[in-house]
Amino acid sequence: MSYDVFLVAAHLKEKDHEKARLVARRLRSMRMRVWFDAKAEDDVFDAREARAIERSDAMLVLWSKNAVESNFVRGAAAQGYSRARDDEEDYLFLQAALDDVVPYDPYSADDLHDLSGFTTRTNTEGWFAIVEALEKYQGRRDLKEWLLIAAKDKDAQDAWRAAHPEDRLAVKGTPPGQKKAAAPPARAPASPAPAKEEARPVPSP
């Protein structure tokens, strides 16, 4: 399976984990395929994650004071940064800050989008910048407009979809990266009930 975004965070720390879950949920709501291990139990960057990075189109690192000390974050960020540096057209490397952290070199030289105020009810300019970078890379447009539509405003949502008929949000069907539910096996046609034998008169002796 391929991914639009490989999401990196200090997932063993509660505050970082919750913010990463929110980011993943918001990206998926725009029908992006996101790698994020919400059930990780260790801080190890292993071969499984390295393979997932190679199957992704972009990486988003959520830096924090916890993240700069995380073995997983350091390992994943190094691979994503190296891949983007080798071929900027083939891989998108994005960074965000969850607090006032300044990541170490070489990451400190790149753009760092502020997500410190990003919540379930509040978008931030840093969040919009991340979405705009991803939409440009994916060949999409006007996702910021979509994000500003109220969840209950179905008319505005329908109007946006009508104006963007080729966008993933407008295409009906199974969202990218999700498997369709298997159809239940067809039942064999019921066998016809055996015909009842007619009672025959017993001949008299």
Answer yes or no: are the C-beta atoms of 73 and 41 closer than 8 Å. no
Among 132, 137, 52, 53, residue whose Cα is nearest residue 92:
137
Whats the size of the chain, residue-wise?
Answer: 205
The pLDDT of residue 105: 87
Which residues are registered as beta bridge partners of 94? 60
pLDDT tens for 39-82 read 888 889 999 999 999 999 999 999 999 999 999 999 999 999 99
The pLDDT of residue 9: 96
Selecting from 3.90.1690, 3.40.50, 1.10.472, 1.25.40, what CATH number does the domain 5-139 have?
3.40.50
Q: What is the mean pLDDT of the chain?
A: 86
Whole-angstrom distance, CA of residue 2 vs CA of residue 101? 31
The pLDDT of residue 173: 62
Kindly tell me if the per-residue pLDDT of 104 is higher than 80: yes
Among 126, 125, 60, 53, residue whose Cα is nearest residue 94:
60
Kindly tell me if the per-residue pLDDT of 1 is higher than 80: no
In three-state secondary structure terms, 85 is helix
Share of the chain above pLDDT 70, in %: 83
Domain boundaries, the chain: 5-139, 142-174
